[in-house]
Amino acid sequence: MAKSKTKNAFYAQSGGVTAVINASAGGVIETARKYPKKIGKVYAGRNGIIGALTEDLIDTSKESVAAIKALRHTPSGAFGSCRYKLKSLEQNRREYERLIEVFKAHDIGYFFYNGGGDSADTCLKVSQLAETMGYSIQAIHVPKTVDNDLPITDNCPGFGSVAKYIAVSTREASFDVASMAKTSTKVFILEVMGRHAGWIAAAGGLASTADTEIPIIILFPEINFDKAKFLAKVDENVKKYGYCTVVVSEGVKSADGKFLADQGLKDAFGHAQLGGVAPVVASIIKEGLGLKYHWGVADYLQRAARHIASKSDVDQAYTMGKAAVELALKGNNSVMPTVVRVSNKPYKWKVGVTPLNKVANVEKMMPKDFITDDGFGITAKCRQYLEPLIQGEDYPPYKNGMPQYVRLKNVAVKKKLGEFKL
Amino acid sequence: MAKSKTKNAFYAQSGGVTAVINASAGGVIETARKYPKKIGKVYAGRNGIIGALTEDLIDTSKESVAAIKALRHTPSGAFGSCRYKLKSLEQNRREYERLIEVFKAHDIGYFFYNGGGDSADTCLKVSQLAETMGYSIQAIHVPKTVDNDLPITDNCPGFGSVAKYIAVSTREASFDVASMAKTSTKVFILEVMGRHAGWIAAAGGLASTADTEIPIIILFPEINFDKAKFLAKVDENVKKYGYCTVVVSEGVKSADGKFLADQGLKDAFGHAQLGGVAPVVASIIKEGLGLKYHWGVADYLQRAARHIASKSDVDQAYTMGKAAVELALKGNNSVMPTVVRVSNKPYKWKVGVTPLNKVANVEKMMPKDFITDDGFGITAKCRQYLEPLIQGEDYPPYKNGMPQYVRLKNVAVKKKLGEFKL
């Protein structure tokens, strides 16, 4: 591809959205706008890669400077996301041919894909289109995932804000249950996301610090649930502190490998019920110890909570978007910008870069030495890793008591091609 | 009682705690400290009225100025709360005699009780001790309840902050599900508190405003759940907007008067399971419409969320504590300070006062004209009432990314009496 020629860019959001993925979008679009001689328009895919396949493109040049700026403080995916993984070229050549057709029709030379592990795989395949199908394009992956499970990068934009939300909420709910414990609730259980890796559950451990000690039991997906050991620990905490908080990952499994949440619940009519893992843990405590409990399930609240986003996280999300464009302008293809940690105290980080084939389809699990020997807590090493990621607050603007999140106009680009069936 | 003589004060927190009940405590203690010639020490009951009965008093004079100031931004009950309702004088004379014994032993002439409807009843009984048992005391109730169900006062400290949390969270989660709806989750269900009255559920309606419209269905405890009508409404919203948010009160009942949450759930072993109402609603949607959903249960998170407290609420909580002391100093007994609304735009309010016998055991329900005709939303009148209560942000201080909530020393006052069995 001749670097001097102006090409348009494609940007899309993929997978579960986060409190800061729009900050990355802002980083991509604002940076691209600074180089009009190299990058023409930034077209966003409506609902992720589906927007590219169906030629449903959004013309971001129709959005005001203020609207794009507001992406930085707006949670969710402003252009719509999707759960859609491209198959391999051998399995679905038709989709790749369609992508090239759309890219050609709209003169797209840059492909920015904002997502997690699956998306990195899609981005990798697109980055190889020059070799495999003779269409020259630069594909850069922009890291995003609340699960924090991408390799190479120190951490993933999206995770720090979930971690902060869980740490803050766990501290607040623990203060609450401590107040009630004398005559009422003694155990509070919070269910958090993370089906495969316990990064988010680990963040619950940050609620307890040297100056604000809180008895917290963490149930990690990495550690098989041991009922007797768990009940003994709850009992010990309640006897010592009067109360206890449990942070449980949705992905916790029994020794038999089944999800603890999957208890075969049936209602009075025999219909299967999908409960969470928090009520299961609550019932185990009630039955085993007879203690009064409360439980909460954070679900989308945790990953959408832009109101309590981590400033580090927002900065990194924005910077990853910006870096992706800069990498493209320097001629890179098939790479992902990364966060490189320079120091913990004070927290310093810089932008790195990694080839995409090192990222796609690799899951970064919690290191063994991040979990305490009893399996219920985080080690000092884990805390050193996590603490910088929740640093700083980055409050959105408010109007009449409500955060002002932007909704873009999302004007469609005129279609030039025929329909495509997914 | 001779006004000129210095008497000590008793202060206690009662019932479910809130994000701002400690702000009221701060108002009481800081104001009392300004009148050392009239009020000696403020003794706080450890775990509410139980602290008075068991002579487990906390000497708040041992707390620094900074610590008492920090109560304003600290959620939960700093002295411990309790769920314990005094019986009538006829039913349990022994408890009243004990209270007087403790009050006499510690020269207590002021009684400040911080709670909801049940607590107002306790406070009323204490305020009548001069008449009924010949012990002169001034008892003032300080209003607090997330349920917003106290009469006379325009609203209850504690409610505004829950309302803000629910409104903000509902908006954020709605943005999230809207992003995912094309290929994944189409309905998000949030379970909120409020077993009898739908005030908190109503706050979910604030997430949708003229400039940020969101399709929200509210399930109020005041309206019997009608499955067919509900499913039709969800279907309509999803067809029109692509997604839908449901805010459901824990207290929603079926036409037969049973809690919707009480579905007689049993696990694979036949053990009863206590689920929330959110998963029940989720299952109804899955079965009736086949839509993908997510659900969350805010539970303690909503009432402990000091990080997103309403500034109006914090101000009112503090002012109610301050006003209680000022009312006592003016010679009042058996009263409660109230919030009197002066105007909506701009929001202005002032302090009022009401006799306690008008408050105790009276529940303020949602007016019928606050709920839309279809039973699923809030009216403009309701919005006018609610919006001022979530005005303003009042962020706590942070250190290393975490809110700095104070823990008091809670030094016990030396006991002078024998033990008392509850």
**Is residue A3 predicted with pLDDT exceeding 50?**
no
Domain identity same for B267 and B316? no
Domain identity same for B115 and B166? no
Q: In this structure, what CATH number is given to the domain that contains residue B201?
A: 3.40.50.460
Cβ count within 10 A of residue A86:
21
Residue A179 in tokens:
């107040």
Domain identity same for A85 and A177? no
Torsion, CA B389, CA B390, CA B393, CA B397, rounded to 10: 80
Distance CA B239, CA B297 (A): 26
Encoded amino acid at A140, one letter = I
Distance CA B120, CA B128 (A): 12
Size of interface A-B (CB pairs under 8 A): 265
Cβ distance of B169 and A391 shorter than 8 Å: no
How many percent of chain A have pLDDT more than 70?
A: 96
CA atoms within 13 A on the CB side of B118: 14
Three-class SS of B240-270: HHCCEEEEEECCCEECCCCECCCCCCECCCC
**Is residue B1 predicted with pLDDT exceeding 50?**
no
Cβ distance of B76 and A190 shorter than 8 Å: no
| Closest chain B CA to residue A301 | B173
| Closest chain A CA to residue B166 | A301
A14: helix, strand or coil = coil
- What mean pLDDT is reported for chain B? 95
Q: In this structure, what CATH number is given to the domain that contains residue B34?
A: 3.40.50.450
Å between B23 CA and nearest CA of chain A: 15
**Is residue A272 predicted with pLDDT exceeding 90?**
no
Encoded amino acid at B355, one letter = P
Cβ distance of A301 and B81 shorter than 8 Å: no
Q: How confident is the model at residue A270 (pLDDT cuts 50, 70, 90)?
A: low
Assigned domain for A377 exists:
no
Per-residue confidence (pLDDT) for residue B271, from 0 to 100: 57
The answer to whether B149 is a known catalytic residue is: no
Distance CA A169, CA B300 (A): 9
What's chain B's Rg over C-alpha atoms? Answer: 23
A247's enclosing H/E stretch is strand A244-249
Domain identity same for B295 and B329? no
Is the model more confident about A205 or about B363? A205
Is the model more confident about B131 or about B205? B205
pLDDT in tens, B177-232: 999 999 999 999 999 999 889 999 999 999 999 999 999 999 999 999 999 999 99
Domain identity same for A297 and A168? yes
Domain identity same for B163 and B265? yes
- Annotate A136-162 with DSSP letters as a single string: --EEEEEE--TT---SSSSS-TTHHHH
**Residues B76 and B67: beta-carbon distance below 8 Å:** no
Instruction: For residue B289, give the DSSP letter.
Output: H
Q: CA triplet B234, B239, B242: central angle to 5 degrees? A: 90
Distance CA A249, CA B171 (A): 24
Name every chain B residue with its beta carbon within 8 A of the beta carbon of A259: none
Encoded amino acid at B26, one letter = G
Give me the mean pLDDT over the B60-70 stretch. Answer: 98
Residue tagged 């409050």 (tokens):
A395
Domain hosting residue B163, numbered range:
159-304
In this structure, chain B runs to a length of 422
User: Any idea which of A235-249, B64-78, B191-205, B272-286 has the lowest mean pLDDT?
Assistant: B272-286
Distance CA A406, CA A404 (A): 6
Helices (H), A290-363: 300-304, 311-329
Nearest to A401 among B278, B294, B390 (CB): B390
User: Any idea which of A107-116, A122-131, B260-269, B290-299 has the lowest mean pLDDT?
Assistant: B260-269
Q: How confident is the model at residue B362 (pLDDT cuts 50, 70, 90)?
A: confident
Per-residue confidence (pLDDT) for residue B292, from 0 to 100: 94
Assigned domain for B381 exists:
no
Assigned domain for B384 exists:
no
Assigned domain for A380 exists:
no
- Annotate A204-234 with DSSP letters as a single string: GGGG-BTTB---EEEE-TTS-B-HHHHHHHH
Assigned domain for B345 exists:
yes
Domain identity same for A259 and A203? yes
**Residues A219 and A267: beta-carbon distance below 8 Å:** no
Cβ distance of B175 and A393 shorter than 8 Å: no
Q: How confident is the model at residue B130 (pLDDT cuts 50, 70, 90)?
A: confident
Assigned domain for A369 exists:
no
Å between B331 CA and nearest CA of chain A: 32
Question: Which runs of E-coded beta strand occur in B165-262?
Answer: 187-192, 216-219, 244-249
Flag whether the ipTM exceeds 0.85: yes
Distances (CA, A) of B419 to B28, B54, B103: 29, 7, 15
**Residue at a domain's end among B282, B304, B326:** B304
pLDDT in tens, A236-254: 999 999 999 999 999 999 9
Å between B181 CA and nearest CA of chain A: 8
Give me the mean pLDDT over the B78-85 stretch. Answer: 93
Q: CA triplet B114, B116, B117: central angle to 5 degrees? A: 130
Pairing mode, strands B335-343 and B348-355: antiparallel
pLDDT in tens, B338-348: 999 999 999 99
Per-residue confidence (pLDDT) for residue A65, from 0 to 100: 98
Domain identity same for A286 and A169? yes
Cβ distance of B168 and A74 shorter than 8 Å: no
| Closest chain A CA to residue B265 | A267
Per-residue confidence (pLDDT) for residue B3, from 0 to 100: 47
Q: How confident is the model at residue B275 (pLDDT cuts 50, 70, 90)?
A: low
Residue B217 in tokens:
């269905």
**Residues B52 and B406: beta-carbon distance below 8 Å:** no
pLDDT in tens, B116-126: 998 999 999 99
Name every chain A residue with its beta carbon within 8 A of the beta carbon of B266: 265-266
pLDDT in tens, A346-378: 999 999 999 999 998 888 999 999 999 999 999
Torsion, CA A118, CA A120, CA A123, CA A125, rounded to 10: -70
User: Any idea which of A258-262, B34-38, B101-105, B290-294 has the lowest mean pLDDT?
Assistant: A258-262
Residue B282 in tokens:
């989720």
Domain identity same for A254 and A321? no
Nearest to A176 among B17, B307, B390 (CB): B17
Distances (CA, A) of A158 to A146, A198, A260, A261, B126: 5, 15, 26, 25, 53
Cβ distance of A178 and B76 shorter than 8 Å: yes
Distance CA B198, CA B148 (A): 9
**Is residue A400 predicted with pLDDT exceeding 80?**
yes
Per-residue confidence (pLDDT) for residue A88, from 0 to 100: 87
Catalytic positions of A, written as ranges = 147
**Catalytic-role residue among B56, B59, B121, B147:** B147
Per-residue confidence (pLDDT) for residue B268, from 0 to 100: 57
**Residues A402 and B390: beta-carbon distance below 8 Å:** yes
The number of folded domains in chain B is 2
Residue B356 in tokens:
């306690």
Domain identity same for A53 and A167? no
- Annotate A52-112 with DSSP letters as a single string: HHTT-EEEGGGS-HHHHHHGGG--S-TT---------TTT-HHHHHHHHHHHHHTTEEEEE
**Residues B304 and B19: beta-carbon distance below 8 Å:** yes
Domain identity same for A20 and A132? yes
Per-residue confidence (pLDDT) for residue A268, from 0 to 100: 57
**Is residue A264 predicted with pLDDT exceeding 80?**
no
pLDDT in tens, B378-393: 999 999 999 999 999 9
Residue tagged 């499970």 (tokens):
A149
B389: helix, strand or coil = helix
Domain identity same for B331 and B283? no
Assigned domain for A152 exists:
no
